[in-house]
């Protein structure tokens, strides 16, 4: 039956609903998740998977579905293990089922629509032959929901939403805090900005945000959480460098290194340049930004342009100073080394899918090599701040202990309000490790 | 998922009396999915399998404003009728034509759902109108049949003309 014209749903409304159709968002989310299952990072996967969605709100919806699926980690796979008679090898189909199950678990009251949209999504993904399977799996879940949920509830990967090996390590390293640490990884992170204090005070910027109707909360000397989050181009003066997006925990780095005008400063492993620009904003006048990946080095240059402060960007490998170093030693070095990123999972939930149990050890070898190499270019009387965004001791305390044992002359300098150097992740900041090491004059 | 072609009045296939559904299986559910997409795209608030040239006793409706409350009726029967209401109706098989039809105000319906599970509901207002309209299709009936002979022949002429122009 068709409705008479005066009652007919608004035509524009229908067109909008089509562009925002749930099944399109499911489909795009499934493609992104499938790439993560295949070992790609979400950031890389997303641009390819989401370019079919014309409407930015649809892209944002697809991102939410993918994030929810990646965050939940263990639940959908555990359910599928019980719902499928044989494993699915098609990663896109598998990812679609995970996306749909994650959404169904959260919104069982819309079960009919969600199942219908998941079946539509299977068609849209060229998995038409599997639409019966998608329908059957999701309906079987709904039919046996309580039994299934009870059966998986006690599985650690379901309960704590991380891989088993990860849970074991966090528990061993942080016996008092492990549950809180794992739980924080599920929270949507705030949009945290760093106010460029050269352009005015933090409080003045907060007032500027308020004048635009944007709420914010103080998280640090220059750190504000903008709540609710807005696209960065809506932040006053963003393009002119009045503020940058940076987690409050990451904002600690430049101040802990404490640069003074005239000092020669090295930011090793600089991309994307958040800490580089911060060092400059805090008064560094002679700064070398080193980055191994030429494409990522370009992002450092872009950020420098935006903030309008000069630094020398060099493409080079921190473990091989002979290939890039001009022979002049540095007074201060920021060594923000490559790591598992286990402290920033709430911003990058794909990390817990991509990392393998051997990864902390693999990163540790590279971290050790970087520490050794940078020590050789540090001036006597100088200092080096070692930074990771990890919570695994193999990459943090154990690296520094090992380094100190090899370099008896090195002095571990205190970081007063971060005992032990480990900033565990909380709702207000990501997880970081800091160690400040001095070289005697 | 493919959009299905909708038969247009006075196509004689719309006069077919539909057969009961024997089994509610994945093939039938695939048809339901295709019909739902067709109905939402049209846009319409109800669609009978007859209208997409599948002559089984299957009807889908969604009278919600949010367009997310699909209801499926397989082998429907009207158990009770009560009262009277007149409502302006249109039909995806009779495009562009709207006219007032008088039907029962409240009905009680028994049918099978998408899962093949029987259920009963009581419907009134728009849902009652829509269900009676769609169930008529399964009997080979179109809402135009309720109108005067004169109106019927005008509508027929208009739609035949339009069909020739296409």
Q: How far apart are CA A417 and CA A360, in angstroms?
A: 26
Write down the ipTM of this complex: 0.76
| Catalytic site positions of B | 134
Q: How far is CA B81 from CA A41, A154, B21, B86, in A?
A: 60, 52, 24, 14
Q: How far is CA A410 from CA A11, A368, A374, A402, in A?
A: 72, 15, 13, 12
CB pairs under 8 A between A and B: 68
Which residues form the domain of A235? 191-245
Does residue A373 share a domain with residue A268? yes
Q: Out of A8, A113, A136, name the one closest to residue B68 (CB).
A: A113
Does residue A409 share a domain with residue A327? yes
Does residue A256 share a domain with residue A349? yes
Does residue A337 share a domain with residue A207? no
Contact across the interface for B92 and A112, Cβ inside 8 Å: no
Whether residue A176 is contained in a domain is answered as no
Touching A: B residues 80-139, CB under 8 Å: 88-92, 95, 98, 114-115, 129-130, 133-134
- pLDDT tens-place values along chain A, 441 residues long: 887 644 443 333 333 346 678 898 999 999 999 999 988 889 877 777 787 777 778 888 899 999 999 999 999 999 999 999 888 999 999 999 999 999 999 988 888 889 999 999 998 898 989 999 999 999 999 999 999 999 999 999 999 999 999 999 999 999 999 999 999 998 889 999 999 999 999 999 999 999 999 999 999 999 999 998 888 989 999 999 999 999 999 999 999 999 998 999 999 999 999 999 999 999 999 999 999 988 889 899 999 999 999 999 999 999 999 999 999 999 999 999 999 999 999 999 999 999 999 999 999 999 999 999 999 999 999 999 999 999 999 999 999 999 999 999 999 999 988 989 999 999 999 999 999 999 999
DSSP letter string, A4-32: -GGGSPPHHHHHHHHHT-HHHHHHHHHHH
Tally of structural domains, chain A = 3
Does residue A330 share a domain with residue A222? no
Whether residue A3 is contained in a domain is answered as no
Which chain B residues touch A123 with a CB distance below 8 Å? 1
Whether residue A180 is contained in a domain is answered as no
Whether residue A4 is contained in a domain is answered as no
Chain A nearest-CA residue for B47: A1
**Final residue of a structural domain among A220, A245, A270:** A245
Does residue A429 share a domain with residue A319? yes
pLDDT for the residue A46: 79
DSSP letter string, A194-243: EE-GGGS-HHHHHHHHHHTT--EEE-SSSEEEESS---GGGSTTTTTTSE
Q: Out of A1, A124, A132, name the one closest to residue B89 (CB).
A: A1
**Final residue of a structural domain among A205, A226, A245:** A245
Ranges of residues in chain B whose predicted pLDDT is under 70? 1, 166
**Is the pTM here over 0.90, yes or no?**
no
> Residue A287: which of A308, A318, A307, A313 has the closest Cα?
A313
CB atoms within 10 A of CB A405: 9
Contact across the interface for B88 and A4, Cβ inside 8 Å: yes
Is A155 in contact with A74 (CB distance < 8 Å)?
Answer: yes
Which chain A residues touch B69 with a CB distance below 8 Å? 112-113
Contact across the interface for A1 and B95, Cβ inside 8 Å: no
Does residue A366 share a domain with residue A256? yes
DSSP letter string, A96-127: HHHHHHHHHHH-GGGHHHHHHHHHHHHHHTT-
Question: How far A14 CA sits from the closest chain B CA (Å)?
Answer: 8
Is A350 in contact with A36 (CB distance < 8 Å)?
Answer: yes
- Helix and strand tally (H, E) in chain B? 3, 7
Is A157 in contact with A74 (CB distance < 8 Å)?
Answer: yes
Q: How far apart are CA A69 and CA A101, in angstroms?
A: 9
Whether residue A173 is contained in a domain is answered as no
Does residue A225 share a domain with residue A79? no
Check which CATH number belongs to the domain holding A208 and give it.
Answer: 3.30.70.1170
Does residue A415 share a domain with residue A385? yes
> Residue A79: which of A92, A94, A93 has the closest Cα?
A94
Q: How far apart are CA A143 and CA B113, in angstroms?
A: 14
Structure tokens, A105: 């678990």
Check which CATH number belongs to the domain holding A377 and give it.
Answer: 3.40.50.150
pLDDT for the residue B142: 95
**Residue A162 DSSP one-character state:** S
Structure tokens, B60: 């889908």
pLDDT for the residue B95: 87
CA atoms within 13 A on the CB side of A144: 14
Per-residue model confidence as pLDDT tens digits over B81-110: 999 888 888 999 998 888 889 999 999 999
pLDDT for the residue A19: 61
Phi first, then psi: what are they for B116, rounded to 5°? 85, 5
Whether residue A168 is contained in a domain is answered as no
Whether residue A1 is contained in a domain is answered as no
Does residue A368 share a domain with residue A262? yes
Does residue A268 share a domain with residue A236? no
Q: Out of A1, A116, A128, name the one closest to residue B45 (CB).
A: A1
Whether residue A181 is contained in a domain is answered as no
Does residue A233 share a domain with residue A313? no
Check which CATH number belongs to the domain holding A140 and give it.
Answer: 1.10.940.10
Chain B nearest-CA residue for A121: B1
Contact across the interface for A1 and B90, Cβ inside 8 Å: yes
């Amino acid at each position: 039956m068709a409705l008479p014209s005066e009652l007919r749903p608004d035509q524009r409304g229908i067109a909008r609903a089509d562009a925002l159709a749930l099944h399109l968002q499911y489909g795009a989310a499934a493609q992104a998740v499938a790439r993560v299952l295949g070992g790609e990072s979400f950031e890389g996967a997303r641009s390819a998977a989401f370019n079919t969605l014309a409407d930015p709100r649809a892209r944002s919806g697809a991102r939410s579905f993918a994030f929810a699926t990646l965050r939940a980690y263990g639940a959908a796979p555990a359910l599928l293990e019980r719902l499928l008679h044989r494993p699915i090898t098609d990663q896109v189909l598998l990812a679609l089922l995970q996306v749909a199950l994650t959404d169904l678990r959260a919104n069982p009251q819309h079960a009919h629509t969600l199942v219908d949209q998941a079946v539509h999504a299977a068609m849209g993904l060229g998995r038409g032959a599997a639409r019966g399977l998608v329908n059957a799996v999701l309906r079987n879940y709904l039919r046996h929901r309580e039994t299934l949920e009870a059966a998986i509830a006690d599985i650690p990967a379901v309960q704590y939403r991380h891989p088993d090996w990860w849970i074991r390590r966090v528990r061993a390293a942080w016996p008092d805090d492990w549950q809180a640490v794992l739980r924080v990884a599920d929270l949507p992170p705030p949009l945290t900005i760093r106010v460029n204090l050269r352009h005015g005070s933090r409080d003045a910027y907060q007032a500027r945000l308020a004048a635009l109707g944007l709420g914010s909360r103080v998280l640090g000397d220059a750190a504000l959480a903008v709540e609710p989050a807005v696209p960065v181009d809506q932040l006053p003066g963003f393009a002119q460098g009045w503020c940058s997006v940076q987690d409050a925990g990451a904002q600690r780095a430049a101040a802990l290194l404490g640069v003074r005008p005239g000092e020669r400063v090295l930011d090793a492993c600089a991309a994307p340049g958040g800490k580089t620009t911060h060092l400059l904003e805090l008064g560094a006048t002679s700064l070398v930004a080193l980055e191994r990946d030429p494409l990522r080095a370009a992002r450092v240059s872009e950020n420098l342009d935006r903030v309008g402060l000069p630094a020398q960007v060099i493409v080079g490998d921190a473990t091989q100073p002979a290939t890039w170093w001009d022979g002049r030693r540095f007074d201060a070095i920021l060594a923000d080394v490559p790591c598992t990123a286990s402290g920033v999972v709430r911003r990058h939930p794909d990390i817990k899918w991509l990392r393998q149990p051997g990864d902390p050890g693999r990163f540790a070898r590279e971290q050790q090599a970087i520490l050794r190499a940078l020590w050789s270019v540090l001036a006597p009387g100088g200092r080096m701040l070692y930074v990771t965004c990890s919570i695994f001791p193999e990459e943090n305390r154990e690296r520094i202990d090992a380094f100190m044992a090899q370099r008896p002359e090195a002095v571990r300098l205190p970081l007063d309000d971060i005992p032990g150097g480990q900033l565990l992740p909380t709702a207000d900041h990501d997880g970081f490790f800091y160690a400040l090491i001095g070289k005697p004059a | 998922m493919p959009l299905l072609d909708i038969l247009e009045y006075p196509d004689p296939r719309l006069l077919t009396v539909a057969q009961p559904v024997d089994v509610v299986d994945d093939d039938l559910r695939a048809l339901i999915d295709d019909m739902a997409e067709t109905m939402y795209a049209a846009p319409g608030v109800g669609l009978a399998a007859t209208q997409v040239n599948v002559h089984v006793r299957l009807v889908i409706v969604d009278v919600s404003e949010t367009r997310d409350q699909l209801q499926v009726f397989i082998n429907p029967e009207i158990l009770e009728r009560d009262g009277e209401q007149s409502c302006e109706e249109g039909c995806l098989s009779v495009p562009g034509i709207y006219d007032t039809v008088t039907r029962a105000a409240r009905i009680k319906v028994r049918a099978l759902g998408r899962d093949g599970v029987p259920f009963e509901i009581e419907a009134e207002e728009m849902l009652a109108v829509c269900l009676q309209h769609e169930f008529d299709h399964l009997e080979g009936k179109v809402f135009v049949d309720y109108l005067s002979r004169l109106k019927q022949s005008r509508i027929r002429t208009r739609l035949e003309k339009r069909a020739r122009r296409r």
